[in-house]
């Protein structure tokens, strides 16, 4: 499967769940799950779709790094938002550890996205060229 469609499908699934939760909150007038709803939409629908848009047009070199990046993001936000929702619904503090795991995976997804951007921008190649000994123009 193309990496962009993987991101779009995960984003759409998150959007359906997040918007569904929003409609439920509105209908029930119980907004206690608002932070879970907000992060499901923002980390799931919005962020995954942005990653998808980038990968759709980006060079497809070193695909393993691209897949590692989107996999961390795609695994992180469901763990984070599910743990958050469970905590908000039950007050069970034991689930906070899971929220940490999800949050750190989400962060790893963003750090790896920066690595992908640095790689694709050609910045590394420019820096390596600079560190090579320059020809002496006076000879």
CA distance 114 to 121: 10
Cβ–Cβ < 8 Å for 82, 99: no
Contact segment (CB under 6 A) with ligand HEM among 24-32, 49-57, 111-119, 122-130 equals: 24-32
Nearer Cβ to ligand HEM (8/80): 80
Instruction: Establish if 32 lies at the interface with ligand HEM (CB under 6 A).
Output: no
Please identify which residue in 13, 42, 53, 68 interacts with ligand HEM, judged by CB under 6 A. 42
**Length of the chain, in residues:** 139
Here's the x/- map for ligand HEM, 64-103, by CB under 6 A: it reads as ----------------x----------------------x
- Three state DSSP letters for 19-59: HHHHHHHHHHCCCCCHHHHHHHHHHHHHHHHHHHHHHHHCC
CA distance 54 to 3: 10
Both tokens of residue 35? 């932070």
Please identify which residue in 9, 12, 46, 101 interacts with ligand HEM, judged by CB under 6 A. 46
What residues line the site for ligand HEM (CB under 6 A)?
19, 22-23, 25-26, 31, 34-35, 37-39, 41-43, 45-47, 80, 103, 106
């Amino acid at each position: 499967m193309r990496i962009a469609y993987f991101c779009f499908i995960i984003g759409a699934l998150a959007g359906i769940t997040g918007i569904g939760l929003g409609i439920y909150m509105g209908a029930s007038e119980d907004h206690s799950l608002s932070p879970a709803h907000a992060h499901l939409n923002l980390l799931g629908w919005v962020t995954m779709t942005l990653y998808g848009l980038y990968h759709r047009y980006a060079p497809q070199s070193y695909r393993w790094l691209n897949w590692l990046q989107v996999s961390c993001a795609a695994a992180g936000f469901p763990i984070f938002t599910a743990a958050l929702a469970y905590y908000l619904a039950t007050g069970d503090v034991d689930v906070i550890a899971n929220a940490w795991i999800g949050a750190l995976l989400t962060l790893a997804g963003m750090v790896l996205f920066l690595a992908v951007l640095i790689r694709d921008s050609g910045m590394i190649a420019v820096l390596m060229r600079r560190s090579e000994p320059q020809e002496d123009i006076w000879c």
